[in-house]
Amino acid sequence: MRERQAHINIADGKKIYVTLASEAAKTNQVNRAYGEAEAILARSQATVRGLAMLSQSLKETGGVEAVSLRFAEQYIQAFSNIAKERDDQETSGVEGDWEDIDEKDISEGSKNRSGSTIFETEKPGQTSEPVFSLQSRNKEP
């Protein structure tokens, strides 16, 4: 009989432990939810105050013009960033080709090291404009 009562006491203890742990988890969730709700409310109130200040500033002399100028500045900056990215994409990989061409290659009219282009500044006996000759990479001059 004592053994049976001991098992009952152990079972009751486990039941109480599970119940208390569950209530603690629930309380924790409720507290977190209240905290998040208060944070959302604080952000909302700050946004309302900020919009009220912005509205008042726009009503003042030059407010609309100032906002228009700020939007224009942001547009120009964004457009500049897009143009820079596009320029970087178009020129990537070209640096190596230009580094391979030196002054001797250009002045003597020899084939550059990349094997793609011959630049002739003057042909013997001529003093005309420079001649540019594009040749296939697979063919020799």
Residue 140 lies in a domain: no
Summarised one tens digit per residue, pLDDT across range 111-127 is: 445 554 444 444 455 55
Domain-located, residue 85? yes
Looking at the whole model, is its pTM more than 0.85? no
Residues 86 and 99 in one domain: no
Q: Which two tokens stand for residue 64?
A: 């609309």
pLDDT tens, residue by residue, 3-44 = 999 999 999 999 999 999 999 999 999 999 999 999 999 999
Structural domain including 43 reads: 1-60
One domain for residues 24 and 52? yes
For 57, the enclosing helix (H) or strand (E) is: helix 2-59
Do 102 and 128 lie in one domain? The reply is: yes
Q: Are 109 and 118 in contact (CB under 8 A)?
A: yes
Domain count of the fold of the chain: 3
Same-domain status, 36 and 83: no
- Please give the helix or strand (H or E) that residue 51 lies within, else none: helix 2-59
The C-alpha atoms of residue 135 and residue 83 are separated, in whole angstroms, by 32
